[in-house]
Structure 1
């Protein structure tokens, strides 16, 4: 399964530029995933391609970032390290065939609503004023948005992107005061239930250091299927 492509398509940068087989992605600086170089083929001119990427992000006031996955050209990581790029955010791709179950209290919509965005951003909003850009990224492809709500307030949220016979799970987040209640599991199963039987597998990404989330996902049928990390100038 081409996880590099799936993640790229499920979390789309709203500005993309092709260069020598690479994709330079920009989305207001919100998330490395949408603001990094997707390098999945060897360029004709490696030095020239890296310089072009650095110029692209420099024009936007951002440090150059590369997403380095299993499809990255051989030697790219070593060359970036030689140039002083730091390895950050090692990430696991987990895949499986989870079961679905729609429970009371879960709301599922085809677009993110303000409360959904606010809850996700309260947990994952590491970029200050980037909520508008984050919403634009989310709405860039068809997806389902689920939230477990109490008194109209989303306590846990998630996003599912149908990609052929594969379902991508993103934006899983639970407010700190609502954790250890099984709400993330409830949201995950609601997203799978909404997708129905039209897919053969699902995948998600989780940081390598988040052991708690990994344990949850394993209990729902996911196992490690790939890895990637970033190189930041």
Structure 2
């Protein structure tokens, strides 16, 4: 996983654009994101590139999140400046949610998924939309086991996602059994919200879902694909590897809950 720093920064930036926060503040190269605490990705510092010029950057970041009633969270990856992870650890920041970024050629994933589908024939209906309608949101919250209180946050997030974007429903007997979202930015496409109803897993639907998302992305100009996957989610990592995805680099979060107020002079 030896890629150039520019590659890490490019992918981290594209991935951040596909999961836009409700509000954000720039601190030189870094982006302070906030979304009422829903998802770490949308409520963390995207720490890519060099350190901020302000020597008091950590205190000011912690004050930013404390004012919002949120913990201070940093997104740490190979695009982050050297030594940041170790420094945050000395300041009481705990490591959380190790993930891996995987990439692939769109055509390779499409071909591999189609081959797998021929071996695991599954009859489903597909419905695409440019927005997440009420039915899509209902099933999304149910499948992810998220509380109803998060509906507005996710609805707003999906609206903020940049176009072109596609929201996919897989149906069997008029019932939604799987969902997925594809977002295209230049030559890259990212897939999020990829979820299959528990009692329909192990039937090859993952290949159907990934093939559909990939084909849609290629139709919208994406030659390359990326995914962000929780490292401990071995079934997902294995599925993506079978489709041709390769791990490129890792990232994780550093979190601190007991924030102290900024002491002003």
For the superposition of Structure 1 and Structure 2, which TM-score range results when normalised by the shorter chain? over 0.9
Q: Rg: which structure is higher?
A: 2
Counterpart of 1:84 in structure 2 is 92
CA shift, 1:93, in A, is 0.7
Map 1:191-206 → 2, pairs under 5 A = 191-197=213-219, 198-206=221-229
1:32 paired with 2:40, answer yes
Runs in 1 of length 4+ with deviation above 4 angstroms? 100-104, 125-128
The equivalent position to 1:131 in structure 2, one of 151, 156, 159, is 151
Segments of 5+ residues of structure 1 without an aligned counterpart are none
Map 1:1-233 → 2, pairs under 5 A = 1=7, 2-40=10-48, 41-46=50-55, 48-97=56-105, 98-99=109-110, 104-126=124-146, 129-140=149-160, 141-142=162-163, 143-197=165-219, 198-233=221-256
CA RMSD of aligned residues (A): 1.9
| CA–CA distance in structure 1, aligned partners of residues 32 and 139 of structure 2 | 29
| CA–CA distance in structure 1, aligned partners of residues 11 and 250 of structure 2 | 9
| CA–CA distance in structure 2, aligned partners of residues 69 and 126 of structure 1 | 27
Paired residues, number: 232
Task: Give the conservation status (yes or no) of the 8 Å contact 1:125–1:131.
Answer: no
Stretch deviating more after TM superposition (61-70 or 105-114):
105-114
Deviations 1:174-222 (A, max 9, x none): 1212211222221111111112352221011110001100111111111
| CA–CA distance in structure 2, aligned partners of residues 182 and 12 of structure 1 | 31
TM-score scaled to structure 2, two decimals?
0.82
Q: Higher helix proportion, which one? A: 2
CA shift, 1:148, in A, is 0.7
CA shift, 1:80, in A, is 0.7
